[in-house]
Amino acid sequence: MAASTLSEVARLAGVSLATASRVLNGSTRKPAEDIAERVRDAAEKLGYVPNAQAQALAKSSSGLIGLIVHDIADPYFSAIARGVQEAARQQNRMVLLASTSGAPSDEREAVAAFAARRADSIVIAGSRSARPEDKQSNVELAAELDRYCRNGGHVGVVGHPIVGSTTEEGYHVIEVPNEDLAAKLADELVASHQGAFVIIGGPEGLFTSDDRIRGFQRGLSDAGRPPAEVIRTGFDRAGGYDAGLALAERIKASDERLCIFAVNDVMAIGVTAALRAEGVWIPRDANIAGFDDIETLRDFRPALSTVYLPLEDIGRLAAGGTEGGSVGGSVKLRRSTEVPA
């Protein structure tokens, strides 16, 4: 059966089309209550469903928050998404989701799509990139966001500002102290580990990964230890698994005990899985630590040392207003970095 139209509702209620629209689409100009009641009764009898775009025009608000993440299957992003959803619920808004695999060009398309749907605000979670191949896409993403903000939109960004963005009105960044927290992790690990350190990082130019690598190296330097070797790979579990395979033979062939720092937890999980497949066991044969303290770690064995970040709070802050801010974190040492007796 075809959906009822606003014209049919107006005809049944005996009012003009404009009056029916003001009642059902949330305009601030309200007709008398008896007329409004007739319109609502007619809409109910006909099963009329208001048009969301018409409501947005009438209210100058769509009630929508656009959320852009790299990968919703990644527990890091799903935790941030929960925080955004909680903020949206408190604001009586709904969340639209775009998962972009971290490509600035796909992020720009998502921003344009959310803007076309008159989203009240947009949250962007995921590392910024200074890789040469992302240069033009970064320019286009920044221009799209600047245009959105000039038209009254609000943008919350997790971590680093959008590369090249010049807007200030309606734009805020939730800063995450990745470098300082990675330095604290290194400082705590050197107290119990006397051997060499290896860092498993993401592609060079990925800001979050680079911050954590730089912080960990600073922590080692401050403790009087030589810099760690850095292995670059994908910024995900698969990248960690590949790096683990590359390290397995080296660990088995050496008497030296390695301590591995993977710059996020899903990479650490991948490294550990690859080592286990090759007969290398944590913490018997090597130590490993991650970063983020994702919820998945509750079921991971051995318990992974990591850096805790309040991911849901980050999501709430990013979606909750127009002011910037920062969050803290803390080092969590667990069994994966214990030295066996």
The whole-model pTM stands at 0.81
> How far is the C-alpha of 212 from the C-alpha of 185, rounded, in Å?
10
Tell me what the mean pLDDT of segment 190-208 comes to: 95
pLDDT of residue 3: 59
Query: Which percentage of the chain shows pLDDT scores above 70?
Result: 93
Which of the residue ranges 153-162, 198-207, 283-292 would you say has the lowest mean pLDDT? 153-162
- Check residue 51 and give its pLDDT: 58
pLDDT, one tens digit per residue, over 140-182 is 999 999 988 888 889 999 999 999 888 788 889 999 999 999 9
Query: What pLDDT does residue 31 have?
Result: 84
Q: Which of 17, 2, 5, 9 is nearest to 44 (CA)?
A: 9
Stretch 101-124: mean pLDDT: 91
What does the pLDDT look like over 29-63, one tens digit per residue? 778 888 888 988 988 888 877 655 555 544 556 78
Structure tokens at 56: 């947005």
CA distance 108 to 139: 10
CA distance 78 to 295: 10
How far is Cα 189 from Cα 228, in angstroms, rounded to an integer?
Answer: 13
Tell me, what's the pLDDT at 264?
A: 98
- For the CA atoms of 21, 25, 26, 30, what is the dihedral angle to 10 degrees? 10
Amino acid identity at 31 = P
